[in-house]
Chains A and B, each alone.
Chain A
Amino acid sequence: MADNPQPELDYPQTPAAPERSETPPSRKGIKRRLFLAGTALVAGGGVFALWWADSSARSKAKALVEGKGEHAFAAWVKIAEDDSVTIYSPHIDFGQGSHTALGQMLADELDAAWDKVTVEQAPADLAFANAALAKGFLPLMVGETVAGLIPDAVIGMMARAMPLQITGGSSAIRFTGEVAMRKTGAAVRAALVAEAAERLGGPERELATGDSRVTHAPSGRSLRYGELAAGAAQRPLSSDPVLKTRAQWKLIGKPIPRRDIPAKVDGSAVYGIDFTLPGMRVATIAMAPVRGGKLKSLDEAPALAVKGVETVVRLDDAVIVVGKGYWQARKGLEALAPTWSDGGHGAISTAAIYAAQARLRQSAQKPDNESGSGDVEAALSAAGARRIEAEYRVPFLHHAMMEPFALTGHFKDGKLHLWGGLQDPLSTRTRAAKAAGLAVEDVVFTPMIMGGGFGRRFPDLVEIIDQVAVLAMQVPYPVKLIWSREEELRHGTYRPQSSALLTGAVKDGRITAMRIDYVQSGSAEGEVPFIYDLPAVSRRHFAYRSNQIDGPWRSVNATQLGFYTESFIDELAAAAGEDPYRFRRKHLPEGSRHVKVLDEVARRASWGTPLPAGVGRGIAIVESFGTIVAEVVEAALKEDGTPKVLRAWAVVDCGTTINPLNAEAQIMGGLIMGLSSAMGEQVTLEKGAVVESNFTDYPILKLADAPPVVDVHFIDSGAKTGGIGEPGLPPASPALVNALAALTGKRIRTLPVLAQAKA
């Protein structure tokens, strides 16, 4: 038999020091959580030590990760006497490559030899809470000026108070990397140099670092980092270390292969769903078909009669069958005929939601959020202006992470142990503790590799934590709960179904006014910038919720707003009789980064050159998560009349690219996910329940329909580092429909495209 890839039986230690109980996070955004804590702590602030040198967090981190011959310097890094360097990432890497990129940033500033560096997931412990994330998001909430006044130590306290170990918002590199990893690497390097100065007897200015070694050039003597680690780890870390200049970078900006890839091509990587323990049982679940519904009645006998089924557990809104393995549990579940209430949501349908959204838009006294400038109403009705209006609609979207939810739990010796892949290890613990009725310190969570996420794995929105916590408290053995794809698809926290009315006016070849009235659960104001420079513009958000739980879906509100705005700009260009690229260009601020990105994508895609018959070309530009992306798509119609993307280009300004190889993959993947969603994806509701069931009726773009090559180009503007995981997605859907409009003359305003083609 081949090597069994299952991990060794491993019950991690609960952190030694008790922590205060944290209240579990409510279903509110990161920003809200940060804002509340920020307000409280700013008011009572006044601590001036730096967060990574915070002695209590540092000693706690040391206790958690230091082995024999190893020396922890800060929450993020330890150096062993054999020169090996371990970097702890507070971000989960679900395939976006952030572990490698964060490692590059810290190791470069540290001047460590890359082959001696490993990057690991930080333990789910408050000592590893991510202050850099708090610091990064803070200016978005309170403004740069106020954020700049908040001492770093207070931000560290905020992160631990949240608690914050979130991966999301394309934040890993631009916040954690820039704020925490680089500075920590530089500060540790400085401590090693100070230690070497004492040992080698030379002044620090005569010492040079490189390849995990400090060298005193005049004498030719040198010491390895491993030799210096013990002494250096006792030294205070500089609060304001000198960072390398771009010219000094050896790792940042280089196309370094990802560390996690070899285990992902030979089957040895252990994902959450692969985890196993001796004596473990496997469970699967059926949840109320209508979200908000409850379990009404259940006869458990048919499941218990299935060979291999062990027990049936009822939850308020679900039934769990536990078996020897997944298949037995699944057969047991299929033998059941539970009845469910609909929670009063039986009249909800996709059409009813769109109708309710239109009514709300027309009848609301005032919007819930708005932004803009100028007198839009006056400009829209000005004499000589051509006014056009269009309604756009986008459906709920399933995240479709390829690994369905799976979480293993075992209640043993008073502790609840959990293993699985979730986006925020710390709040996973708090949520599980609440569901199990335990103190947070009695829950131990081990994060595992994740088979995709795309926004679905935020613990705030993940019911499987509660389900496993409750289940594990009731059974005497370890148990792994696996959601079927059907349950995964029908109980998502979808990208919201959203609709918008766009109104605009053009006069003498220029847009004189534009208004976007959009209806959906969350506001995009303050999140998705409006990039065009117009005399009058207004964006108004009307809040509407159905029975569904709307969640973040890769690139969040930038998908809807990007689709609405960039489709409508093309409509305005057509109304003005202008070329879509040139029309965009003259409405973007002159000399801006946006213009450079747009020009470069047009140049690379040979915009304006003749196309073969039957091919259309579309362009779009969206800024999200601090990164500007323009994309061009060439599309044709297949023999059956459905569209196919032939070629695609993306030009990206994310400031600085940390790992071009990986950044290219993220942009390419985002573009393809955007095309996939625009082409065929939709979650629809009838009688309050989701209609689609699996990939058979929820089509994900496959290789044959994806562009064979995506030309991705980065403009190294040196501007503030932006995100890379999400910004590639939003321009894809408008670029596609713009290409189809150019090809067919027909404007598609309701996604997905294939549903329109069939209709």
Chain B
Amino acid sequence: MAIAFTVNGQPVSVTVEEDTPLLWVLREELGLTGTKFGCGVAACGACSVQVDGALVRSCSLPVGEAAGKAVRTIEGLKAADGTLHKVQQAWIAAQVPQCGYCQSGQIMAAVALIEQVGTPSDAEIDAAMTNICRCGTYPRIRAAIRAATGAAAAATAASVPAEQGDA
């Protein structure tokens, strides 16, 4: 049956089994391959996206549960004019990625954290950033979140309601 929702503000409708994880719908039906498959059991976070503003591991969310909701992926973080999100900019400035495979999920987790708490403390970063990075980029992830925080908190307040409005 057809399942409708929005992705990065754009309405989509897919005809797949309802139990298909959102991850595979994004990757294979919609061609949004920035969201990655790492474990399939919500243990690593490489597939992290936002659904109605909440951080979700899309490998374990049946697409049926996303019906009518607003999905936001790594591809949707850029502004309409192509300007990168402050968190993405901080990731480049801190030269965070090595192999890069987990970084879409790490960035989505960091964006969700910053949108939720503004300027996270170290303890809040520890608690929220549970995605696995095998390359061991954690110190730079922490540094990038801290560097992004002040600016990102301001940008978030301005940009998120607009994006949710689009959705």
Contacts and interface: CB of A to CB of B under 8 A. Distances in A.
Interface string A509-550: 000000000000000000000000000000000000000000
B77 A266 contact: yes
Nearest to A3: B75
A668 B141 CA distance: 12
Contacts of B46: 402
B92 to A, nearest CB: 6
Given A282-B28, A450-B99, A257 B134 contact: no
Interface residues of A, number: 74
Nearest to A704: B126
B159 interface: no
B31 interface: yes
A694 B38 CA distance: 10
Contact of B136 (A404, A671, A695, A704): A671
B114 interface: no
Contacts of A328: 17
A273 interface: yes
A628 B99 CA distance: 24
A9 interface: no
B86 to A, nearest CB: 12
Interface stretch (A91-99, A110-118, A617-625): A91-99
Secondary structure dominating the interface of A: loop
A696 B43 CA distance: 6
Contacts of A267: 32-35, 73-75, 104
Nearest to A671: B136
Nearest to B20: A327
Q: Which of A258, A266, A273, A482 has the most CB of B within 10 A?
A: A266
Nearest to A274: B33
B76 to A, nearest CB: 6
Contacts of B136: 668-673, 676, 701, 706
B127 A704 contact: yes
A95 B102 CA distance: 11
B129 A704 contact: yes
A264 interface: yes
A97 B95 CA distance: 11
A451 B99 contact: yes
A401 B134 CA distance: 7
Contact of B41 (A261, A266, A449, A694): A694
A268 interface: yes
Given A261-B92, A452-B135, A702 B130 contact: yes
Given A6-B31, A710-B139, A261 B134 contact: no
A340 to B, nearest CB: 22
Interface in B70-99: 73-78, 84, 88, 91-92, 95-99
A401 B132 CA distance: 11
Contact of B44 (A95, A258, A402, A666): A402
A5 B20 contact: no
18 contacts: A97-B98, A265-B84, A266-B75, A267-B74, A268-B34, A271-B36, A276-B31, A308-B17, A326-B24, A401-B134, A485-B41, A662-B95, A666-B98, A670-B136, A676-B136, A703-B141, A703-B142, A704-B129
